[in-house]
Amino acid sequence: MRDYAKRAQHYHDLALEFLVLTRITTAKDIRENYRMMGQHYLAKARAELARAKRTASATNLKIASVSALPQSS
């Protein structure tokens, strides 16, 4: 379960990095690529959290939601 949460945090951090790049990149096509990559990693983070919750429910553990993930700076 711990690996799922770790991966979810890693993917969430990557998503934030790409979404920040969309704010500072001037080329529209590159900005769109960064946006799509950010969304992709955010989806992966959510999938890992869902997997962690499924695993935790089998062992009666509680897992934080996506909104409870710490924000990267």
- The pTM assigned to this predicted structure is 0.73
Residue 62 pLDDT grade (very low, low, confident, very high; cuts 50, 70, 90)? low
pLDDT tens-place string over residues 41-55:
999 999 999 988 887
Mean pLDDT, residues 15-27 taken together: 95
Element (H, E) at 42: helix 28-59
The confidence score (pLDDT) of residue 56 equals 74
pLDDT at 73 over 90: no
Percent of the chain with pLDDT over 70: 77
The confidence score (pLDDT) of residue 65 equals 62
Using an 8 Å Cβ cutoff, are 49 and 65 in contact?
Answer: yes
Tokens read off for 59: 């062992």
